Amino acid sequence: MPAWLDAHFIDLLNGLAMGALLFILAVGLSLIFGMMDVLNLAHGVLFLAGAYALWWIGGASPSWPAFLAALAVAGAAGAVAGSGLALVVERLARRSHLDQALLTLGLALIAADALSIGFGDDVHAIDPPPGLAASVAVLGKPYPIYRLALIGLGGALAAALHLVVERTSLGALIRATVSDREMVAAIGVDDRKVKLGVFAAGAALAAIAGVLGAPVYSPGPRLDGTALLLALVVVVIGGLGSVRGALVGALVIGEIESLGRAVLSDLASFVLFGALAVVLIVRPRGLFAAPTGARS
Partner 1 sequence: MTAPGERRAVAVVLIALAAAPLVLGTYGSATLARLLAFALLAASADLLVGTTGLPTLGHSAYFGAGAYAAGWVARHVAPSAPVMLAAAAGVSAVVAVIAGSVAVRARGVFFLMLTLAIGEVVEQLAQSWHSVTGGSDGLYGIPATRLGGLALSDAGAFCWYALAVFVAGMAVLRGVARSPLGAALRGIRDNEPRMRALGYPTYRYKLAAFVIAGSVAGVAGAVFAGQQRLVTPADLGFTASAPVLLAVIIGGEATAWGPCLGGAIVVALRDVLGPSLGGHGALVLGAVFVGVVFAMPGGLARIAGRIAGRSDRAATGGPR
Cα–Cα distance measured from residue 147 to residue 23, given in angstroms and rounded to the nearest whole number = 14
CA distance 139 to 77: 40
Name the residue nearer to partner 1 (CB basis): 63 or 96: 96
Residue 138 parent element (H or E): strand 135-138
Closest approach, Cβ 261 to partner 1, in A, equals 10
| Closer by beta carbon to partner 1, 228 or else 259 | 228
- Nearer of residues 191 and 224 to partner 1, judged by Cβ: 224
Give Rg (Cα) of the chain: 19
Q: Which residues bind partner 1 (CB under 8 A)?
A: 33, 37, 39, 91-92, 95-99, 101-103, 105-110, 112-114, 116-117, 222, 225-226, 228-229, 232-233, 235-236, 268-270, 272-273, 276-277, 280-281, 284, 295-296
Q: Which is nearer to partner 1, 69 or 268 (CB)?
A: 268
283: CB partners within 8 A, 6+ apart: 239
Helix (H, G, I), strand (E, B) or coil at 228: helix
CA-based max dimension of the chain: 60
- For residue 109, the minimal CB distance to partner 1 (Å) is 4
Report in angstroms how near the CB of residue 66 gets to partner 1 at its nearest.
29
Min separation Cβ 123 and partner 1, Å: 14
Q: Please, where are the H alpha helices in 128-239? A: 145-167, 169-179, 181-186, 191-213, 223-238
- Reduced to 3 states, what is the DSSP secondary structure of residue 136? strand
Closest CA to 233 of 256, 265, 200, 199: 256
Smaller CB distance to partner 1: residue 174 or 289?
A: 289
Residue pair 253/19 in contact by the 8 Å Cβ criterion: yes
Q: How far is the CB of 216 from partner 1 (least distance, A)?
A: 19
Length of the chain: 296
**Which lies closer to partner 1 via its Cβ, residue 33 or residue 67?**
33
> Cβ of residue 86: shortest distance to partner 1, in angstroms?
16
